[in-house]
């Protein structure tokens, strides 16, 4: 893998404080910055994957609703009332 130099400016106090923290972690500032860069790239990728998944799930729901696959509020309430009752029954059976 080829290497590149990344140059930026920070104020002296921040640089001193960061170097001190890095030293206390037995790491160099460059190591910490690389770790941070990898982490932010990974988190952004995960966020983009989640966003794509979420949009797909919303579209599936919209397509289903547009196709007429709907339940009335009364049916939903009845179904979940039964589920709550079953959960309460099972909890009451616990020792």
In tens digits, the chain (95 residues) has pLDDT values of 789 998 999 999 999 999 999 999 999 999 999 999 999 999 999 999 999 999 999 999 999 999 999 999 999 999 999 999 999 999 999 98
Write out the two tokens for 36.
């941070």
List of residues 6+ apart from 84 with CB closer than 8 A: none
Q: How far apart, in whole angstroms, are the C-alpha atoms of residue 23 and residue 56? A: 46
Q: Is the pTM of this model over 0.75?
A: no
Q: How far apart, in whole angstroms, are the C-alpha atoms of residue 6 and residue 20? A: 21
* 29, 18 contact by CB (below 8 A): yes
């Amino acid at each position: 893998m080829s290497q590149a130099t990344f140059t930026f400016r920070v104020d002296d106090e921040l640089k001193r404080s960061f170097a001190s923290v890095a030293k206390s972690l037995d790491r160099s500032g460059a190591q910490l910055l690389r770790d941070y860069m990898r982490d932010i790239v990974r988190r952004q990728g995960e966020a983009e994957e989640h966003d794509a998944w979420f949009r797909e799930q919303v579209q599936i729901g919209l397509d289903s609703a547009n196709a007429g696959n709907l339940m009335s509020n009364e049916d939903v309430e009845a179904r979940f009332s039964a589920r709550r009752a079953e959960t309460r029954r099972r909890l009451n059976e616990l020792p």
